[in-house]
């Protein structure tokens, strides 16, 4: 069994009969009293993030997980459909398991996190950046705002709406940061 000395970001553990991944941790050694580890844990089923403190040396139950590459095929009433990039096996995931569903584009590569003991999918993650075409954006007029970091809403090819700088026009391909759901840069072709 592992201990709190083995805690690191991304580690998957069993806690309160559920699977959690470590989002953030901090080893704390106060001047008075025993050391402890302060953590932020994300529930892999619900997506909820909780704070928890483990005493130093406390045993933790590490779970084995595996990331597998899949290609997004399509979405229908049954959920989101994916194909494994190497075995061509197809799987279907329910819509409640998909975060930022409006940024998924057909043919896009994603990673599905599997619990290796039960061989069940836990999460589906987009790459850190996705490239999408702007299908609608109001024309931005310089001088309309008081600040230099003015933004406007833009509709993308997947019907997602994100804030972009005023100089972005319809038909341009832009890069979106999927971790923060923000505009990153224009894609030069």
- Report the CATH number at residue 94: 2.40.50.140
15, 46 contact by CB (below 8 A): no
Query: 83, 99, 125: which is the final residue of a domain?
Result: 125
20, 115 contact by CB (below 8 A): no
Task: Note whether 161 and 137 are same-domain residues.
Answer: yes
Give the residue ranges of the chain where pLDDT is below 70: 141-148
Question: In the numeric block, which tokens belong to residue 55?
Answer: 């005493």
Task: Note whether 156 and 105 are same-domain residues.
Answer: no
pLDDT at position 88 is: 92
* Domain housing 45: 2-62
- What CATH number does the domain containing 46 carry? 2.30.30.30
Task: Note whether 72 and 117 are same-domain residues.
Answer: yes
Task: Note whether 51 and 84 are same-domain residues.
Answer: no
pLDDT at position 148 is: 60
pLDDT at position 61 is: 92
Q: Which residues are CB-neighbours of 48 under 8 A, at least 6 positions away?
A: 42
Task: Note whether 177 and 135 are same-domain residues.
Answer: yes
Task: Note whether 115 and 69 are same-domain residues.
Answer: yes
Task: Note whether 70 and 55 are same-domain residues.
Answer: no
Burial of 68 (0-12, 13-18, 19+ CB in 10 A): middle
Determine the Cα–Cα distance for residues 9 and 20; give it in Å rounded to an integer.
Answer: 11
How many separate domains does the chain show?
3
């Amino acid at each position: 069994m592992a201990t709190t000395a083995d805690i690191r970001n991304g580690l998957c553990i069993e806690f309160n009969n559920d699977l959690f991944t470590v989002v953030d941790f901090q080893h704390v050694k106060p001047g008075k009293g025993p050391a402890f580890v302060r953590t932020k844990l994300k529930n892999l089923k619900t997506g909820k993030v909780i704070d928890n403190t483990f005493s130093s040396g406390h045993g933790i139950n590490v779970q084995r997980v595996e990331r597998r590459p899949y290609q997004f095929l399509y979405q229908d009433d049954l959920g989101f459909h994916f194909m494994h990039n190497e075995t061509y096996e197809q799987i279907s995931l329910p819509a409640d398991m998909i975060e930022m569903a409006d940024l998924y584009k057909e043919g896009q590569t994603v990673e599905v996190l599997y619990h290796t003991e039960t061989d069940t999918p836990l999460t589906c993650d987009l790459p850190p950046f996705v490239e999408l075409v702007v299908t609608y954006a109001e024309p931005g007029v310089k001088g309309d705002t008081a600040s230099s970091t003015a933004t406007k809403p833009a509709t993308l090819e997947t019907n997602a709406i994100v804030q972009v700088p005023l100089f972005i026009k319809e038909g341009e391909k832009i890069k979106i940061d999927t971790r923060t759901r923000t505009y990153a840069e224009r894609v030069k072709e």
